[in-house]
Amino acid sequence: MKMQKSEVRLMKGNEALAEAAIRAGLDAYFGYPITPQSEILEYFTEQIPKRHGVVLQAESEVASINMVYGAAGAGARVMTSSSSPGMSLMQEGISYIAAAELPCLLVNVVRGGPGLGTIQPSQGDYFQAVKGGGHGDYRLIVLAPSSVQEMCDFVFDAFKLAEKYRNPAMILTDGALGQMMEKVEFPEEGSLPHQVPDWATTGKKGRERNFITSLHMEPEKMEEINLHLQKKYKVIEENEVRFETFEIDDAEIVLVAFGLPARICQKAVELAREKGIKAGLVRPITLFPFPKKILSDLSKKIDHFLVIELNAGQMVEDVMLAANGKCPVHFKGRMGGMIIQPEEVLEEIEKIIQQPILQE
């Protein structure tokens, strides 16, 4: 269902995300300053007192994520945001939230790492976001926007998915998307109704008591919880995969990239096509669930995959699993906050297609 859009504004990605959250009926935001996502906290502290909801600057990311746990457990529509080092601090709490099946939105505006790293854009937290991140077997639903418009739209999608599956959802974006400005159209406020779920701890009124926990001392019970979670993740994988393709019909080499680099790759495909190279692009929108099928199907008819990431090669492993040896999977990445340029991608494409293909 397409939502009614109201007005067009020029906004930074971080601010668009925050405005979208307010319009999505956010009940509470808890967060801590860290570059390059502090605009989110700043926007909320400026807007929420004039509109609706709760905003609180916590004493740390550790406190923030546990406030999210409390508020989500109390049935509120709640979120936090941070950037890489802060997200690392939150991992314990995220594991608890996933185990207790509390819906909430987490936003990671990724910066270059490891360590204190840099404040420039990166995709170095892919593994952390899609493979769990904290302790134990759990998954987040991970959405990767590639425009300021999607920084807005995916807030709505993420809340819907989180509440549908009682699972934390993450928007995995980067410093550049957070800081850049583009046109954005916002949905009307109130277009995403929210009911307090019946499992929430709102006071034991006219029902048995509710409790939120992730502790089950009996291994049989804990295995049962795990099986339940895995079953849920399977359902998510079957129903919620999202991706975008560009010029793949006759493509011989297909780029795979998510987030901002996907747009850089789209430009590279345009440049390649101008030179007569049959290039295409697959852009995973959901990183978990990962679009395995389209990549698996393509692997049987194309000559090469080229994965472009702003890291040392993380999603490339998932592309390899999907290709399963059916076609070569190449990788080019930039790290430490460096952004890859369209011309650099084109160069890589040309290098690959000039190599002789080894017949089996």
Partner 1 sequence: MSQEILLEDMQCVYQKPATLTDDYMHYCPGCGHAVAHKILMEVVQEMGIQEDVIGVAPVGCSVFAYNYMNIDMQEAAHGRASAVATGIKRVLPEKYVFSYQGDGDLAAIGTAETIHTINRGENILMVFINNGIYGMTGGQMAPTSLFGQITSTSPYGRDVEHNGYPLKITELIAHLPGAFYVTRQAVHTPNTVRKFKKALRNAFEFQKLKKGTCFIEVVSNCPSGWKMTPKETLTYIEEKMLPEYPLGDLKVPAQNNI
Partner 2 sequence: MHITDEIIIAGFGGQGVLSMGKILAYAAMFENKETSWMPSYGPEMRGGTANCITIISEKKISSPVVSKFDSAIILNQPSLNKFEDHVKEHGFLFYEASTIINPPTREDIMIYKIAAIEEANKMGQKQISNMIMLGAFLEIKPLVKRESVLSALKKVLPERHHHLIAVNEQALLRGKELIEINYHVSV
- For partner 1, the binding residue among 11, 17, 21, 28 (CB under 8 A) is 28
Give the per-residue contact string, 95-134, with partner 1 (x = CB under 8 A; - = no): -x---x----------------------------------
CA 78/CA 54 separation, integer angstroms = 9
- CB under 8 A: which stretch of 50-58, 231-239, 283-291, 335-343 binds partner 2? 335-343
Residue 196 is a binding residue for partner 2 (CB under 8 A): no
Instruction: Judge contact between 41 and 81, C-beta under 8 A.
Output: yes
Give one DSSP letter per residue of 263-306, joined into a string: HHHHHHHHHHHHTT--EEEEEESEEES--HHHHHHHHTT-SEEE
Per-residue burial over 77-94, b if 16 or more Cβ lie within 10 Å, else e, is: bbbbbbbbebbbbbbebb
Give yes or no for a cis peptide into 103 (omega within 30° of 0).
no
Residue 48 binding target from partner 1, partner 2, none, CB below 5 to 8 Å by type: none
Q: Which residues of 234-267 are buried (b: 16+ CB within 10 A; e: fewer)?
A: eebbeebbebeebbbeebebbbbbbbbbbbbbbe
Q: Work out the angle between the directed axes of helices 315-323 and 292-299 (0-180°, nearest 10).
A: 50
Q: What distance, in Å, lies between the first and last C-alpha atoms of the chain?
A: 47
136 binds, among partner 1, partner 2, none (CB under 5 to 8 A by kind): none
Distance CA 257, CA 269 (A): 12
User: Which one, 58 or 321, has the nearer CB to partner 1?
Assistant: 58
CA angle 178, 183, 188 (to 5 degrees): 95
Q: Does 144 bind partner 2 (CB under 8 A)?
A: no
Subset of 269-298 contacting partner 2 (CB under 8 A): 270
Q: Which CB, 44 or 154, lies closer to partner 1?
A: 44
Query: Least distance (Å) from partner 1 to the CB of residue 20?
Result: 20
> According to the binding rule CB under 8 A, does residue 212 interact with partner 1?
yes
If you ran DSSP here, which 8-state letter would residue 74 be given? T
Give the x/- contact pattern for partner 2 in 245-274, rule: CB under 8 A: ---------------x--xx-xx--x----
Residues numbered 79-138 forming contacts with partner 2, rule: CB under 8 A: 119-120
- The answer to the question of residue 5 lying near partner 2 (CB under 8 A) is no
Residue 6 near partner 2 by CB under 8 A: no
Nearer to partner 2, 77 or 111 (CB): 111
Q: Rule CB under 8 A: is residue 195 a binding residue for partner 1? A: no
CA-based angle 141:196:203, to the nearest 5? 120
Residue from 51, 52, 135, 183 touching partner 2 (CB under 8 A): that is: 183
Instruction: Tell how far CA 46 is from the center of its chain.
Output: 25
Binding residues for partner 2, per CB under 8 A? 8, 10, 35-36, 119-120, 175-176, 179-183, 260, 263-264, 266-267, 270, 339, 341-343
Binding residues for partner 1, per CB under 8 A? 27-28, 30, 54, 56, 58-60, 62-64, 66-76, 78, 92-93, 96, 100, 201-206, 209-215
